[in-house]
């Protein structure tokens, strides 16, 4: 079974991925993790990716796809995989198809923009210890201060709301053609991800269980 989870950062894909891997016996592949692993292990694609990143260039579709392809050929992915963060563009999806990696299900985690921004844009950190807080979900006892030391908290540049807004806009611009691409293949489903974890899991299972039965994986 070959599954893609789609959705903006903070939509809950990472929370649900372990459920999918456990239920269907597939491996979980996160683009960021795969990229870091390839660089650390100094694979040919990892060396090329590091060179691009060190020079400030974007890692090309071809390089990212090469790293993904290396990962899905590992023994632990022999029963399939759930991809988190790839493909990001229609071009990457076409490369998957051309390589014979036919996707069984592409699930979009539909979450309101304000919820995404609330989750991603409210994090604050204590520099000395790395303790993290969230304005809504895990606020400090005193606003802007570390609970233990009382020292000021800081916010990473990419956690600031204005940056998160731009990232969300870019994500939607990239992903809309990708959603249309998978709709045309009859494998796309959008689910309401702005619910409790168990309710979202029920929706995922209702989509994937029939496929798992058909493929002998469930």
Give the residue numbers annotated as catalytic, written as ranges: 13, 88, 123, 156, 167
- Residue 196 CA to residue 18 CA, distance in Å, equals 16
Question: Within 10 Å of residue 33's Cβ, how many Cβ atoms?
Answer: 13
Tokens describing residue 162: 């204005």
CB 27 within 8 Å of CB 21: yes
CB 126 within 8 Å of CB 96: no
Tokens describing residue 94: 């076409």
Query: Cα 160–161–163 angle (5° rounding)?
Result: 70
Residue 157 DSSP symbol: G
């Amino acid at each position: 079974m070959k599954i893609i989870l789609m959705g903006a950062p903070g939509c809950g894909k990472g929370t649900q991925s372990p459920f999918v891997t456990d239920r269907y016996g597939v491996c979980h592949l996160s683009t960021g993790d795969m990229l870091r692993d390839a660089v650390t292990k100094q694979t040919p694609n990892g060396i090329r990716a590091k060179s691009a990143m060190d020079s400030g260039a974007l890692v090309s579709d071809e390089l990212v796809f090469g790293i993904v392809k290396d990962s899905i050929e590992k023994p632990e992915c022999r029963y399939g995989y759930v991809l988190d963060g790839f493909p990001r563009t229609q071009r990457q999806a076409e490369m998957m198809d051309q390589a014979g990696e036919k996707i069984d299900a592409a699930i979009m985690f539909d979450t309101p923009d304000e919820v995404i921004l609330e989750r991603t844009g409210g994090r604050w950190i204590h520099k000395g210890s790395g303790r993290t807080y969230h304005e809504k979900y895990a606020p400090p006892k005193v606003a802007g201060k570390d609970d233990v030391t009382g020292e000021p908290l800081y916010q990473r540049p990419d956690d600031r709301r204005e940056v998160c807004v731009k990232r969300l806009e870019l994500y939607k611009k990239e992903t809309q053609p990708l959603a249309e691409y998978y709709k045309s293949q009859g494998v796309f489903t959008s689910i309401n991800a702005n619910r409790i974890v168990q309710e979202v899991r029920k929706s995922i299972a209702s989509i994937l269980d029939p496929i798992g039965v058909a493929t002998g994986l469930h």
